Structure 1
Amino acid sequence: MHDPGGSPGFHAVVLAGGRSSRLGGRPKARLRQGGRTLLELTLDAVREAAGVVVVGPPDLAVPEGVLRTREDPPFSGPAAGIAAGLRLLDGLPRADWTMTLACDMPGVARAVPRLLDAAREDPDAAGYVCVPPDGRRQPLAALCRSDVLHGAYAGRDATDRSVSSFVRDLPLRDVTVPQDATADVDTWDDVQRHHLT
């Protein structure tokens, strides 16, 4: 499962649910930058993936070939979203790696290649997590060995749990990324800063 460029074979779970409560309920996945939605930008960043699942509401349009599911119950958090995505990916041919991304990071295309490069250079690691210069690990921009990630979620209820609670004990290695690569959109100030509409 390697492309001609030598990138590791991977699946991607893209989280596009959430209540967007600080944005008055406006779905972050549908915010636009340069005419493209945040979801489109995120999916483009993982276009090399062997399989992609978007976890979000049923009325969210996804391109042909992209799978879609929903966390159960709805709005039960990103860890529940990842668990739902992993269940759906079980129906696809195996990939060595699984990437987890939130769709509210407009600059994530700058993070994805760094994760894949790290996995190519050291494929024996359990996984990698993006860390911008401020030092805050971003578990929703990570690449893990598929068996390791599935094992972390197996048999555990992910409802209303943090992603960190599932991966904090995994020996993930830090991958340094630019600050704006994982800067997310939570408030209207963020919307303005990223020039979103």
Structure 2
Amino acid sequence: MCLVLEPWAAIILAGGRGSRLGGVDKAGIELGGRTLLEWALDAVIDAREVVVVGTPVPTERPVTFVRENPRYGGPVAGMLTGLDALQRMPAYVGVVAVDMPHLNHGTWRRLLDAAAGTDGARLVGPDGHWQLALALATARLQQVRPDYEGQHDHPLKALLAQLDLTPVLAQGREHEDIDTWEDLRDS
């Protein structure tokens, strides 16, 4: 049962350079006959609104596409650009990298449950490292929001260090992302 009863929105970060993949657009990479963007959209099926920060492509689900400002500015620029593109500001926003195909709606329910009444929650792998799958209280995020205009690579860790985020242990392969061709092969 999801404790966050209010509608939530999702921001899918899909505007990276894919440097370790030779510059390939990760959102369009196929796994099991579906693109990574399609996997990400399925995972956030319960979100009231979805913003994809990246190159616009046709999708079955209505989404808003935006480009981060500055372009290739990193996850903070992408997250805040996505937040600004929401039509209605929800109490909570899910932020996820497009390259995490093993997330599902159950992952988001656990993250949102853990975030209820707090600054938010983050997915943590079995090795203790956190992943770019976050459920954040938007009011608190706005309080710690940096002035990122024109900045590249504002440190995500520095932004998140200002928030008290509840760790949520990944189940199965939820924590795995695809950064290299070997990661794709092993998924």
TM-score for the superposition, normalised by structure 2:
0.89
Match of 1:95 in 2: 90
Letter in 1 for 2:88: P
Match of 2:128 in 1: 135
Question: Structure 1 residues 79 and 50 mapped into 2: Cα distance closer, same or farther (>3 Å)?
Answer: same
> In structure 2, what is the Cα distance between the partners aligned to 1:62 and 1:78?
22
Question: Match for 2:136 among 144, 153, 156?
Answer: 144
Match of 2:100 in 1: 105
Shift of 1:130: 0.7
Structure 1 residue runs without a partner (length 5+): none
For residues 175-186 of structure 1, the aligned pairs below 5 Å read: 175-178=168-171, 180-186=173-179
> In structure 2, what is the Cα distance between the partners aligned to 1:94 and 1:73?
22
**Secondary structure of the structure 1 residue equivalent to 2:47:** coil
Say whether the 8 Å CA contact 1:86–1:150 is kept in structure 2. no
The alignment's C-alpha RMSD in Å is 2.0
Shift of 1:94: 3.0
Question: Can you list the C-alpha shifts for 1:115-135, whole angstroms capped at 9, x where unaligned?
Answer: 12324xxx2111111111110
Match of 1:114 in 2: 110
Correspondence 1:172 to 2:168 = no
Structure 2 residue runs without a partner (length 5+): none
Say whether the 8 Å CA contact 1:52–1:67 is kept in structure 2. yes
Question: Structure 1 residues 134 and 8 mapped into 2: Cα distance closer, same or farther (>3 Å)?
Answer: farther
> In structure 1, what is the Cα distance between the partners aligned to 2:137 and 2:109?
16
Shift of 1:154: 4.9
Match of 1:37 in 2: 35
Aligned length: 184
Match of 1:126 in 2: 119
Shift of 1:85: 0.3
Letter in 1 for 2:99: D
